[in-house]
Amino acid sequence: MNLPLIPAPATASAFDETFVLTSASGVVHSSELAGPVARFLEDVQLDAGLTLTGDSGIHVDLGSVAGVPPAAGLRADGAALDERHGVEVTPEGVRVWGPTPEAVYRGLTSLRQLISAQIQEGTAVLPAGRIVDGPRFAWRGLSLDVVRTFHAPDEVRRVIDMLALYKLNVLHLHLTDDQGWRVEVPSRPALTEVGATGAIGDRPGGYYTQAELAELVAYAADRYVTVVPEIDMPGHTAAVFKAYPELGPAEPQTIDVGNGDKLHLGTLDPGRDETWAFVEDVLDAVIPQFPRSAYVHIGGDETWGMADEDHAAFVEKAAALVRERGKKVVGWQEIARAKLGSEDVVQYWLDLDIDKMGENPDAPTPPEELLPVLVEALRKAKYDAPKALEQGAKLIVSPVTWLYFDRPHADTSADPSQEQARERLGLQFYGAASIEHGISWDPVDTLPGIDSTDQIAGVEAAIWCETITSSEDLELLLLPRIPGLAEKAWSHQTATNWPEYALRLGQQSPTWRNRRWTWLRSTEVPWT
């Protein structure tokens, strides 16, 4: 049964009948499902232009689901909630059920996609059938860089809407880096007064007020998306040193990386009391702003020029401070070089093989001064995932090769006006990637060192914004890649057939058009 659904459901069967949904249809539900139903009604209007004004036709209720295994991994909110659900369409109407309101919301999300694909002149003729579904992995997310280019709250809400449409449930906000600081810390006002004024190159800076973050966290929670904060340390702290020079090295060093940005070689010093007073101030201010997240991301990556023992000492103490405040620790894969606990989570990203880096003839050579730094980092990186697993930590799978959405698009666009942007966007160093490439892998079967879903906390893509100058740029790199991320994070199918997937992907475009989202109109996809 080839339904226009992404991610592909675990099981689906078809009947030779239909149900006709019109504006006179509506949703029957109990009070405990009022939230998911309200979101559904709002989203169907935005997705398909259909306002459901009636009180019958769709029935939603709480009920158990069998036939799909429970999700592997960990949830970012720390809960043990079941997202498995069922959707059944008969000539008499539609039933959506699941054991929790969140499960019902996921089922209603499938129904949203069906309606959008079938709507014509205000009527959706839905094929009769039965879907029983649930996620393969519990953590399914996107890491969004709001530092190199600052994305205002309205744009972040648009990204949250994209995640929710494809049953993704984590927005990892990369809030601090060399180029800026984007979150309020009242006891350290210079972080936003000084550290937030700027981004990469001459782009404007900015930050989220506590009120804006509260609204974003609530908006995401209404769509069952958990916002996880990242405070990147001990490296990527040039914005901290700009705001509080006394925390930085006496002689800061930088390397020009050739794209308008610089690599900063200074880090926070774990041997100074002032460093830990700063870290505690930041954690005490940031953690309460993300009450739904069970985790704090401490960064820990790319600590250029820092001694290994100093890096390990920093990670271990920063992790302890997070745990003291009742939160769990997640960090980039380099934190595996320190002592970890079994509840810690390691984000595995550096799947690049240093011995094969020269195989892309079109990739530019890094600046000579930068090359030894990169070589050293990549040589250490291949030991990180094994070290994490040996310590009992689970991995968030975020490999550069498959899930870094700041790679250039290889597919040409059916819209000639997008070609100039396509040539400009993405880091050429990684090489271009096609939309088909994005679904031609598996989190367990493809990655070296991983042989079981039990080792994986979840799957998360990352979008870095060195080349992104606007919301249109951001969306052009995110879409149509986000559905491919969802296919790998949610679907139990370990291999995805490209022609069949391309058909499902093409049927997403009416929703994107109605939402006024920007997407790469790949010539390899039969857009509806």
Query: Looking at the annotation, which residues are catalytic?
Result: 302
Helix, strand, coil fractions of the chain, as percent rounded to 5:
35, 20, 40
Residue 221's identity, in one-letter code, is: A
Question: Which DSSP string corresponds to 474-495?
Answer: HHHHHTTHHHHHHHHHH-S-SS
What residues are paired with 62 via a beta bridge?
98
> How far are the Cα atoms of 46, 153, 231 from residue 204, in angstroms, in the given order?
31, 15, 20
Residue 17 belongs to what H/E stretch?
Answer: strand 11-21
Whether 106 and 167 have beta carbons less than 8 Å apart is answered as yes
Q: Which residues contact 250 (CB under 8 A, 6 or more apart)?
A: none
Q: Which residues of 254-291 are buried (b: 16+ CB within 10 A; e: fewer)?
A: ebebeeebbbbbbbbbbeeeebbebbeebbebbbebbe
Is the link from the previous residue into 366 a cis peptide, with omega within 30 of 0? no
Residue 445's identity, in one-letter code, is: D
Query: CA-to-CA distance for 284 and 326, rounded, in angstroms?
Result: 11
Closest CA to 244 of 262, 269, 208: 269
Q: Which residues contact 357 (CB under 8 A, 6 or more apart)?
A: 363, 378
Query: CA-to-CA distance for 376 and 303, rounded, in angstroms?
Result: 11
Give pairs for 484-487: CB < 8 Å, separation 24+.
484/435, 484/438, 484/439, 485/140, 485/142, 485/166, 485/168, 485/403, 485/438, 485/459, 485/461, 486/6, 486/7, 486/140, 486/166, 486/167, 486/168, 487/6, 487/7, 487/8, 487/439
Whether 72 and 137 have beta carbons less than 8 Å apart is answered as yes
Closest CA to 160 of 219, 229, 242, 99: 219
CA 515 to chain centre: 20
Closest CA to 178 of 153, 145, 156: 145
Whether 196 and 182 have beta carbons less than 8 Å apart is answered as yes
Query: CA-to-CA distance for 321 and 329, rounded, in angstroms?
Result: 10
